[in-house]
Structure 1
Amino acid sequence: MTASTRTLSAAALVLALGSALSMTAVSTVHAADDTMEKCFGVALKGKNDCAAGAGTTCAGTAKMDHQGNAWKSVPKGTCTTLQSKTSPTGFGQLEAFKAKS
Structure 2
Amino acid sequence: MKNPALVSSALAAALSLGLVAQAQAADAAKEKCFGIAKAGQNDCASASGSHSCAGQAKTDKAPDEWKYVAKGSCEKEGGSTKAPAKK
TM-score with structure 2 length normalisation?
Answer: 0.71
Q: 1:86 is matched with which residue?
A: none
Q: Tell me how far apart the structure 2 counterparts of residues 39 and 64 of structure 1 sit (CA, whole Å).
A: 16
Structure 2 unaligned runs (5+)? none
Q: Write out per-residue CA displacement over residues 52-94 of structure 1, whole angstroms, 9 at most, x where no aligned residue.
A: 3312312211121112221111111110111xxxxxxxx2010
Q: 2:21 is matched with which residue?
A: 27
Over the residues paired in the alignment, what is the CA RMSD in angstroms?
2.5
Number of equivalenced pairs:
84
Shift of 1:34: 2.5
Identity of matched residues, %: 41
Moved over 3 A (4+): 9-16, 19-22
Q: Tell me how far apart the structure 2 counterparts of residues 20 and 72 of structure 1 sit (CA, whole Å).
A: 32
Give the structure with higher Rg (CA).
1
Equivalent of residue 70 in structure 1, options 54, 58, 65: 65
TM-score with structure 1 length normalisation?
Answer: 0.63
SS at match of 1:38: strand
User: Of the two structures, which has the highest relative contact order with CA contacts closer than 8 Å and spacing of 6 or more?
Assistant: 2
